[in-house]
Amino acid sequence: MSAANETVSAGQARTARYFIYAALIVLALVYLLPLYVMLTTSLKSLDEIRGGDMLALPKDPSIAAWVKAWGEACIGVSCVGIKGYFWNSIKMVVPAVIISTLLGALNGYVLTKWRFPGHKIVFGMMLFACFIPFQAVLIPMARLLGLMGLSNSTTGLVMVHVIYGLGFTTLFFRNYYEAFPDELIKAAMIDGAGFFRIFWRILLPTSGPIIVVTIIYQFTNIWNDFLFGVSFSGGASSPMTVALNNLVSSSTGVKEYNVDMAAAIFAALPTLFVYIVAGRYFVRGLMAGAVKG
């Protein structure tokens, strides 16, 4: 599109640029539309929703639906809002992210700097674990959690998310440490530094970017998980996504679209916030998840 071709006149080139900008703007509006509708619907009253237009701005914006979604909306039989489920998700995400990231860092370190015969097979098996459909482990896991007395508990969900996140965290750190010069490790070894000392003093201080990528990736995945949440928890122990689905799909009483949308925004806020603050790292994590390390 750059160097002005002799066959393309300046006028044609300008028309082409107008077309490009117009197409991009229209597309951007389409991508933004659902978010806009969610937001405006959550600020409207039910009467205005029923009588008015979905795309119209709220005439009299009110956060009543937000307050109700947070503290009063009925999920199942209990009408205490989504706040408890929101905290369930936080209590599940924080330990699961920390543990799986730490283990992934150590695994990546061993798999690149302390190689042993068969390290490739070990890594390959951990990598494949990232991609299995979780349906293939759902029944045994439900059974095991039941036997351990961890059904319907946040501890059980933390355990599940750590286990099935290990493949990804190991992949991230392995690909990152692979590029770290072995000479530095060797020099440290000659100076008498041991396994953990090298990790703490040499590798970890340079791991900032990959730690951010891993934390964001794990945070987004675990916060957004639905399948494990719906399978291994119930009632008051459910994470946010499960509660949102229960709220929206319940068919009793008047359908309060504004409350549904406010609850959906609460469920979306943490990951959206992370995305806005650290979008660059978020995209890098997604790309690394596509194996291209």
Partner 1 sequence: MTTIEPVPALTPEGTPQRQGRTFADGLRNALPKIVLAPSFAVILVFVYGFILWTVYLSFTTSRILPVYKWGGFDAYYRLWSQPNWYVAMQNLAIFGILYIGICIALGLFIAILMDQRIRAEGVLRPIFLYPMALSFVVTGTAWKWFLNPGLGLEHTMHNLGWTSFKFDWLVNPNMAIYTVVIAGVWQASGFVMAMFLAGLRGIDGEIVKAAQIDGASNIAIYRRIIIPLLRPIFLSAFIVLAHMAIKSYDLVIALTGGGPGNATELPSTFMYSYTFNRNQMNVGSASAVMMLMGITAIIVPYLYSELRERKQ
111 to 140, contacts with partner 1 by CB under 8 A?
111-117, 120, 122-129, 131-140
* 46/67 with CB nearer partner 1: 46
CB 208 within 8 A of CB 284: no
Residue for token pair 């929703």: 49
Task: Give the DSSP letter string of 197-248.
Answer: HHIIIIIGGG-HHHHHHHHHHHHHHHHH--HHHHHH--GGG--HHHHHHHHH
* 154/284 with CB nearer partner 1: 284
* 74/189 with CB nearer partner 1: 189
Indicate whether 210 belongs to the interface with partner 1 (CB under 8 A).
no
* 5/15 with CB nearer partner 1: 5
Q: Minimal distance in Å, beta carbon 73 to partner 1? A: 13
Residue for token pair 């291994």: 232
The interface mask with partner 1, positions 158-197, x = CB under 8 A, is -----xx-xx--x-------xx--xx-xx--x----xx--
Neighbours of 191 (CB within 10 A): 9
Identified binder of partner 1 from the candidate list 18, 20, 71, 72, rule CB under 8 A: 20
Q: Which stretch binds partner 1 (CB under 8 A): 57-65, 67-75, 150-158, 261-269?
A: 261-269
From the CA atom positions of the chain, what is the Rg in Å? 25
Residue 84 half-sphere exposure toward CB, CA atoms < 13 A = 16
* 72/182 with CB nearer partner 1: 182
* 202/248 with CB nearer partner 1: 248
Residue for token pair 């009588």: 51
Q: Minimal distance in Å, beta carbon 19 to partner 1? A: 9
CB 68 within 8 A of CB 262: yes
Indicate whether 21 belongs to the interface with partner 1 (CB under 8 A).
yes
Q: Minimal distance in Å, beta carbon 237 to partner 1? A: 17
Interaction residues for partner 1, span 64-103 (CB under 8 A): 103
Torsion of CA 66, 70, 71, 77, to 10 degrees: 110
How many residues appear in the chain?
Answer: 293
Stretch (H or E) spanning 150: none
- The residues, ordered by sequence, that sit 6+ positions from 239 with a Cβ below 8 Å of its Cβ are 85, 88, 89, 92, 157, 225, 229, 233
Beta bridge partners of 78: 75
Interaction residues for partner 1, span 38-57 (CB under 8 A): 38, 41, 49-50, 53-55
Indicate whether 63 belongs to the interface with partner 1 (CB under 8 A).
no
* 157/166 with CB nearer partner 1: 166
* 67/127 with CB nearer partner 1: 127
Q: In one letter, which amino acid is 284?
A: R
The interface mask with partner 1, positions 221-260, x = CB under 8 A, is --xx-xx--xx---------x--xx--xx-------x--x
